[in-house]
Amino acid sequence: MGTFRNLKVYQKAFKLAMDIFDLTKTFPDEEKYGLTTQIRKSSRSVCSSIAEAYRKRKYPAHFVSKITDADMENSETQVWLDFSFNCNYINKSIYDEFVLTSEEIGKMLNHMIQYPEKYE
């Protein structure tokens, strides 16, 4: 199977985290220790949880637990996207694109939760 970097879900999550990083450079300075930090942290945590889960794939319960963490962080990222849009820091097209990508990541993570044996 290679490494966690070969997983499509990791690649998609990493790209989204980097896109969010680039986007948040335009957020107001007053959000530096609030929204900017939170959305960067949650989007990056999706990736790190996938990597940790990959190393636990021989232990299905641990694997599922870490993928569940990734799914939780992915949902948190969606909340911060909601705030970003409603605070007028991002436009509707970027919001829609990022939420769609996050939803795709969620579906992929849920597949991993439902079928951990496919990732051993």
Q: Please count the other Cβ atoms lying within 10 Å of the Cβ belonging to residue 25.
A: 7
Angle between helical axes of 60-86 and 35-55 (0-180°, round to 10): 160
Cα–Cα distance, 71 to 67 (Å, whole number): 6
- Give which of 7, 104, 89, 103 is closest to 52, Cα–Cα: 7
How many domains, in total, are found in the chain?
1
**CATH code at position 68:** 1.20.1440.60
Give the pTM: 0.95
Task: Give pLDDT tens digits along the chain (120 positions).
Answer: 589 999 999 999 999 999 999 999 999 999 999 999 999 999 999 999 999 999 999 999 999 999 999 999 999 999 999 999 999 999 999 999 999 999 999 999 999 999 999 987
Q: Residue 60 is part of which domain span?
A: 4-119
Contact 109, 67 (CB under 8 A): yes
Angle between helical axes of 8-24 and 92-114 (0-180°, round to 10): 150
